[in-house]
Structure 1
């Protein structure tokens, strides 16, 4: 009875202490987001840790020998280790959430912020995995039989590690590729990429795979080793600002300057344009048409797409309303349409200028070329074998 009362008193004291600290943390959370997040996330693991610690100490101090004492204390130790690991993980997650909240990515020129977010996410996953592995190791070491086998396990660790590495070669390759991506800045969360012919955004980057959100809301899942072994386009590696083009084919009679003025007015009147590049150039003038290329810039890839569509729409509308003669035309010579087919296919009479159409006949130089490429007129005799 005395031991039971001691355990109940210890539990009550632990709950009271945790409640007071939780109340103080919530009060601080009114002014600090870190304290508020700590009060929400760490309350339950802290309560479990303190209650288990109080029960364990009460039994050790007050309770004497009773049936199953060692088993109960051993179970309490294992539960305390698990609760303490939960508490450590909660503290780490609170700190990482605070860092991510401070370095938000929903701002302009967020290159450094996206790099930091990618690294924090990777560190979070590694931290949680490390805490779980260490906790399992500490729990196993509480068993005397396993401690006795520790030397033999360490002796065979080399063979086991080699076998595990061969069995998990692909998985380990993806893990190391994920770490390389996180700290080499080759690709980051929210980067705009073109991969496997698809244009999208890096939505999630883990140790084993990368999730790419395609522009039409599909998801393309690729192993992290893909980005270290194959080429891909990263539109926002050095900056989120990008350039894009809108091309229009017009007739040779098109006046270019009015179209340049229309392009400038379209860019200056749109919030999509970042004020850097607004150029209209003639890039081709062959095949009966002139190709105009409008080069514009925007702060990010989605804005650039909408700006390109807007520029193309305004140029087409301006040409239709103001320069209809500038629409592409297909020209054909209709002068000989009424002539009979046989007459149009009749060969022209041969004149003195016919020699200009021949390469290997019809002149001294042409005959000489014919001899050179045709070989000797008489076959060369083959000498008899001696």
Structure 2
């Protein structure tokens, strides 16, 4: 009877104690979150209740399992398994706590500063720092797990002796990976590109969605994802429309007939922009920038507070101006002329060989014709 009750008491008390401590801790964190709702720390810490309970349960079972006298022939193996679970859950808990602290610090910084570019820069640095911390904790936890095996401790001396050769081999084999890691750190702390920046890479326009130590993801306007190594941004030129201030200047071109009413188009552009919410009111203009034998090139200029608004402004101006020209000044749209030119009435008529009269293409008094 004792052989049955003892394991039940030891294991049952460990589980009950784990549930009780976990419930009490979660209750305290919930009250702290309700009392101080402006700080997300307590709510973020509550996300770590599962690894927290695993740590408690593994620690209690590891410390009291020898008293349970359950499966004594396998006591060493079960104890090692509990140790591995304890190390793994402790690493998981440390990562959750670190993430909660870092996220809380970032939230306070974001609320205190209105500079969007600076906030995005800090966000990029925070995410990369969390990835580095997570990698370090995982490596330390994995090394601690390996050291629980006597065979690994015995092989430690030989591993250290060959560490130099292994390091050289690993460095050569992982050269591209290491270069990407250093490039990721350079991007994070060199403020080259940040999460949320609008960039143009290889002719693709999009927003930086994710930055890791090895790769960067750009979300395009049509919701595609372009993933590329971060070393690309340190070795190749790219456009960053969010660098400095997010304000932008947009341009719209039209190819029109030479008879297009330029002054009326300037007034219409002003009316269109006044009705467009995306226009920030800083500047606008309309000029003729080029001419060909059949058309002229008209350029409209407008400003907006960021890349999204400048895109909206350009689209609105382009559509409404074309609609206005089609309805009010259809002659201004480009066309192919196949009819004879209409000459002024005061130009003289010159008799042709067949007896018909035609107007001279030369002005009077030129002596030609």
Distance 1:142 1:281 in 2: 77
Distance 1:109 1:246 in 2: 30
Distance 1:115 1:180 in 2: 12
Give the C-alpha shift of residue 325 in structure 1: 4.6
- Specify the SS of the correspondent of 1:202: strand
Unaligned runs of 5+ in 1: 341-386
Distance 2:68 2:294 in 1: 101
- Specify the SS of the correspondent of 1:204: strand
Instruction: Assess, with a 3 A threshold, how the Cα gap between structure 1 residues 55 and 290 changes in structure 2: closer, same or farther.
Output: same
Indicate conservation of the 8 Å contact 2:66/2:75, yes or no: no
Give the C-alpha shift of residue 50 in structure 1: 0.9
Stretch of structure 1 that moved more, 109-118 or 95-104:
95-104
Give the C-alpha shift of residue 108 in structure 1: 8.5
- Pair 1:236 & 2:230 matched: no
Distance 1:145 1:251 in 2: 86
Post-superposition Cα deviations, 1:73-124, rounded to whole Å, max 9, x if no partner, equal 333222211111111111122234434555669x996211221221222122
Q: How many residues align?
A: 337
Q: Which structure: larger Rg?
A: 1
The counterpart of 2:43, out of the listed 11, 36, 53, is 36
Distance 2:54 2:71 in 1: 26
Give the C-alpha shift of residue 248 in structure 1: 1.9
Post-superposition Cα deviations, 1:167-208, rounded to whole Å, max 9, x if no partner, equal 111222222222222221211112111111221221222222
Give the C-alpha shift of residue 330 in structure 1: 6.0
Distance 1:244 1:172 in 2: 40
Distance 2:265 2:285 in 1: 11
Post-superposition Cα deviations, 1:142-179, rounded to whole Å, max 9, x if no partner, equal 22332233232122111101101111112222222222
CA RMSD of aligned residues (A): 3.1
Distance 2:105 2:286 in 1: 44
Instruction: Assess, with a 3 A threshold, how the Cα gap between structure 1 residues 267 and 64 changes in structure 2: closer, same or farther.
Output: closer
> What TM-score results when the alignment is normalised by the length of structure 1?
0.77
Indicate conservation of the 8 Å contact 1:109/1:239, yes or no: no
- Pair 1:129 & 2:129 matched: no
Indicate conservation of the 8 Å contact 1:240/1:300, yes or no: yes
Indicate conservation of the 8 Å contact 1:3/1:58, yes or no: no
Match of 1:250 in 2: 256
- Trace 1:16-31 onto structure 2 (pairs within 5 A): 16-30=20-34, 31=36
- Pair 1:272 & 2:278 matched: yes
Distance 1:25 1:77 in 2: 28
Unaligned runs of 5+ in 2: 342-349, 355-369
Give the C-alpha shift of residue 286 in structure 1: 4.5
Stretch of structure 1 that moved more, 87-96 or 153-162:
87-96
Instruction: Assess, with a 3 A threshold, how the Cα gap between structure 1 residues 327 and 65 changes in structure 2: closer, same or farther.
Output: closer
Distance 1:255 1:65 in 2: 96
Distance 1:9 1:333 in 2: 102
Instruction: Assess, with a 3 A threshold, how the Cα gap between structure 1 residues 28 and 188 changes in structure 2: closer, same or farther.
Output: same
Give the C-alpha shift of residue 20 in structure 1: 0.8
- Trace 1:291-310 onto structure 2 (pairs within 5 A): 291-310=297-316
Match of 2:360 in 1: none
The counterpart of 2:150, out of the listed 144, 147, 165, is 144
Match of 1:381 in 2: none
Post-superposition Cα deviations, 1:293-324, rounded to whole Å, max 9, x if no partner, equal 11111122222112112112222233344444
Post-superposition Cα deviations, 1:22-70, rounded to whole Å, max 9, x if no partner, equal 111122222433212221x111111111111122223467879954444
Match of 1:349 in 2: none
- Pair 1:215 & 2:221 matched: yes
